[in-house]
Amino acid sequence: MAVNPSSWLGRRIRHRAAEQWHLLAQRIQQGDRRSARRLRDEAQALRQDLNLFLQGSDAQTNAAGTSVQALQMPPGTDWRWRPLIFQGAMQDSSMTAPDNGQRLGEEVALWHDCANRSLILRQKINRRATDLAPYGLRLEVMGFSGSYLSLSLDLPEPAREGLDGHHILRLAATLRAERPITVYGRLNLAQGPNSETILRQLGDPVGGQRDERVVEFDLGYAELSDRPVDKLWLDLIFESPRMNAVTLSDMVMSRHARASI
């Protein structure tokens, strides 16, 4: 049964749930190990949902930045998206010495094979007048001893709807780095047991100035089947990242039809 969140019943349900969790927290503090074991996973799931709600509500009420709907796009664009991590403040906004594949929020994961995990990934507030998004990401790399480092971003379901070889996916990213670094974008598509990748370099090495890079992934060059795309994600790959810091102050993905020949 759907409940109107602004109705008396909706408010009452949330109030009763908050009371229950408050009492459970008191029992844990009094040494109730049984409840701690049984309810920890449930509490973690609730915390994750609450953090996502707070981040989304911050994005909705934040007046800073330029709406993705106001950005100039190629003709025929039928989908555009700025990840939530660039729009709303996160409750857990950083990770230090992350494990391989560790996630920052719901959308971003960091992949690497650096044994000493000498990395920091954090959300930051964009303060420059030229910044188009309220928040950005900063990746700091110390004595990197691994062979690969990438940020992985899951694309939402609307990007996959009706996706086929007639589409082009477009990435617009605003970056800067303390030292020049080459960055690649790799689009990954999964259709059942099969997968396809398209790799593109984001132009010349990124330097210390705010630099917008645009790259397109033409699905006409991918060997796609007729079945729907089950999963779609983007990797930003950083080449030779040792002793560097890269700031990603905005990122927008969009989709448009490729020109007919």
Q: How far is CA 150 from CA 18, 86, 157, 167, 184, in A?
A: 39, 18, 22, 25, 9
Q: Closest by alpha carbon to 213, among 168, 173, 253, 180?
A: 173
Half-sphere exposure of 89 (CA within 13 A, CB side): 8
Residue 54 has a pLDDT of 57
Between the CA of residue 213 and those of 92, 183, 210, 228, what are the distances in Å?
Answer: 28, 10, 10, 29
pLDDT value of position 13: 72
Decide: helix, strand or coil at residue 107: coil
Beta strand residue intervals within the chain, DSSP E: 79-81, 94-96, 102-104, 108-112, 119-125, 135-141, 149-154, 167-177, 183-191, 194-201, 211-218, 231-238, 244-257
Inter-residue contact 59 to 106 (CB < 8 Å): no
Arithmetic mean of pLDDT, 157-183 = 95
- What is the spatial distance between Cα 150 and Cα 111, in angstroms, rounded to a whole number? 5
Count of CB atoms situated within 10 Å of the CB of 181:
20
How far is 108 from 251, CA to CA, in rounded Å?
A: 12
pLDDT band at 47 (very low <50, low <70, confident <90, very high): low
Q: CA triplet 188, 192, 198: central angle to 5 degrees?
A: 20
Count of Cβ atoms closer than 10 Å to residue 109 Cβ: 19
What is the per-residue pLDDT across 18-44, written as a single tens digit (0 to 9) for each?
777 667 677 777 676 666 677 777 766
Is residue 192 over pLDDT 70? Answer: yes
> Pairing relation of β-strands 194-201 and 183-191?
antiparallel
Q: Which residue ranges form the domains of the chain, and what is each CATH number?
A: 8-61 (no CATH), 68-257 (2.60.120.260)
Which single residue is written with the structure tokens 């409840």?
35
79: closest CA among 133, 155, 151, 135?
155
Identity (one letter) of the amino acid at 168?
A: I
Q: Are 236 and 137 in contact (CB under 8 A)?
A: no
The residue-averaged pLDDT of 101-127 equals 93
Answer yes or no: are the C-beta atoms of 153 and 137 closer than 8 Å.
Answer: no
Band (pLDDT 50/70/90 cuts) for residue 189 is very high
Question: Out of 6-20, 187-201, 232-246, which region has the weakest mean confidence (pLDDT)?
Answer: 6-20
Q: What is the pLDDT of residue 214?
A: 96
The answer to whether the beta carbons of residues 198 and 184 sit under 8 Å apart is no
Strand partners, 136: 124
